[in-house]
Structure 1
Amino acid sequence: MLAACGGEQEELQGWMDQQRREVKPNVAPLSPPKRFDPQPYEQARAIDPFSNQKLAVALKQEQRQPNSLLAGEMNRRKQPLEAYPLDSMSMVGSVARRGSQSALLKVDNLLYQVKVGDYLGQNYGKITKITETEIGLREVVQDAAGEWIERPSTLQLQEKTR
């Protein structure tokens, strides 16, 4: 079998030699590289906009403003569920006792019971109402202009899917 391929090898080699002689490659010459002028980085001495010191100054300024929504939030003690973002929580039920409605929240495989007036989420979310199917919140967030505004939000009852 190997001897049968030997004759085609010479024919193939001849064709390759002929193609090398006939075909002339046309390669455009490379343009010379552009001159690079390094510029000194001047912002290294500027104030970092994300520094803890600058953020602390901004928060203190917010606290001094009597109309600020954030001032009241900063002066109170944080509740445990404020350490978790809202999207990591799920409402799994509700309980009515002595005329007051409570909701059951599942966070990190733990069950919490919350009532109106409790805080949850990382945006100063305060529970304003609880129904059988949802929790209504009022969050304090910054708008595009940097002003603190109230934003309504809800957590819906999550039904178990099989």
Structure 2
Amino acid sequence: MSGYMMKRAGALAAAALLLAGCGDSDVKEVRDWMDQVKHDTRPAVKPLAEPKDFIPFAYGDREAVDPFNPNKLLNQLAKAAETSPDPNKPDLKRPRELLENFPLDTMRMVGTMQKGGANYALLQVDRAVYQVRAGQRIGQNFGIVTRVGDDAINIREVVQDAAGEWVERIAKLELQSKENHK
């Protein structure tokens, strides 16, 4: 509403209140006047703009890769990882050693020994026992034994994070006593 119309409506409302307070015999006149004001008052509303036409995008090639397919992202990350100069990236083309076929959580360190001046850890996998020394590959996450101690072996593993980057993590296999596995 414009300022003029608001002032006019306010003045009319004030006049109506004054007239209503003067007496109760002329209530019909006041109601007629209020009906006349309602009839004469015209609100000014701007017309709404016409909506824009929606034009849907048509995908023409049905054999193309779906842009919302998560495998598309994984493929791109794999391609980027192959060409990146990441210093932690393992050599994926080298032949794997025997103990790289087993996860670390299936291995138990059951003892140590010295042979030719080198320390060896004795690892049990299923019912077989293997000798492991520093520098040997172990586990399914490109692990390498970094140290063989009397009570544990330290392993440096290389795994891919969610972004496809190769990151190091440290693992340890501790000597298991017979009391721990009864």
* TM score, norm. by length of structure 2: 0.55
**Structure 1 57/45 Cα, relative in aligned 2: closer, same or farther at 3 Å?**
closer
Cα contact 1:126–1:139 (8 A) shared by 2:
yes
Letter in 1 for 2:159: V
Gaps of 5+ in 2: 1-64
Which of these residues, 50, 56, 66, is aligned with residue 85 of structure 2?
66
- Match among 104, 113, 125 for residue 107 of structure 1: 125
Taking a change above 3 Å as real, the CA distance of residues 89 and 50 of structure 1, as seen in their structure-2 partners, is farther
Q: 1:103 to 1:48 in 2, by over 3 A?
A: farther
**1:138 alignment partner, one of 125, 142, 156:** 156
For residues 158 and 82 of structure 1, what CA distance do their matches in structure 2 show? Answer: 21
Change (3 A) 1:75 1:133: same
Identity fraction in percent: 41
Larger gyration radius, structure 1 or structure 2: 2
Q: Is the 8 A contact 2:77 2:163 kept in 1?
A: no
The separation in 2 between residues aligned to 1:101 and 1:94, in whole angstroms, is 7
Structure 1 residue 59: deviation in Å? Answer: 3.8
- CA-based RMSD of the aligned residues comes to 2.5
Q: Which residue of 2 aligns with 1:49?
A: 70
Q: 2:112 aligns with which of 65, 86, 94?
A: 94
How big is the shift at 1:141? 1.5
Q: Give ranges in structure 1 of 5+ residues lacking alignment.
A: 1-43
